[in-house]
Amino acid sequence: MKTPSATEVVMTELVLPNDTNYLGNLLGGRLMHWIDIAAALAAMRHSGKVCVTASVDEISFNEPIKLGHVVHIRAMLTRSFRTSMEVFVEVHREDPLNGTTTLTSQAFLTFVAIDQYGKPLPAPPLDPVTDEEKHRFEEAAIRREARLKYRETIRARRG
């Protein structure tokens, strides 16, 4: 059984002119793309299978990331359920000119491993070890319940 730290993926990207808007800030969509890739790799590292994005709970953009900054994206599983896996991602920006590093974004994504026909596969169990891993493991069940309740509420309103 794997631990969350065994699923960890760290990606590093340099913000280039093509990655920015007219203010010189990293495009939110580009950061979302990088987050999705890192999270998918963590899910694949855990399951050993091809994984697809099932949902993105929330992505917060707390600080801008500027042209020339280095972006560090860290992803790891928080919990696995029957077929789904929740992945936590945090993003730090590094200003290489002054050496400062700042937490800029966090996100929770859900992935599902699939077979060659696109059908969901069982997710291997996850074994949290550290206090932080155990805390995220417990919170993942709460987030999953909220996701399922939200989905049920929307379906009911649509009739």
What are the pLDDT digits (tens) for 83-93? 999 999 999 99
Strands across the sheet containing 9-14:
9-14, 70-80, 84-95, 100-113, 51-61
Q: Is the pLDDT of residue 157 over 90?
A: no
4-158 CATH fold: Thiol Ester Dehydrase; Chain A (3.10.129)
Looking at the whole model, is its pTM more than 0.85? Answer: yes
Residue 114, token pair as written in the block: 């699939």
**Burial (Cβ within 10 Å: 0-12, 13-18, ≥19) of residue 149:** exposed
Element (H, E) at 42: helix 28-47
Distances (CA, A) of 75 to 16, 38, 40, 123: 22, 6, 9, 17
pLDDT at position 61, please? 92
End-to-end Cα spacing for the chain: 42
Q: What percent of the chain has pLDDT over 90?
A: 93
Q: Quick one: CA torsion of 34, 38, 43, 46, rounded to 10 degrees?
A: 170
Q: Is the pLDDT of residue 58 over 90?
A: no
Residue 102, token pair as written in the block: 């700042």
Q: What percent of the chain has pLDDT over 70?
A: 100
pLDDT at position 101, please? 98
pLDDT at position 60, please? 87
- Cα separation, 105 vs 112, whole angstroms: 23
Q: Is the pLDDT of residue 2 over 90?
A: yes
pLDDT at position 8, please? 98
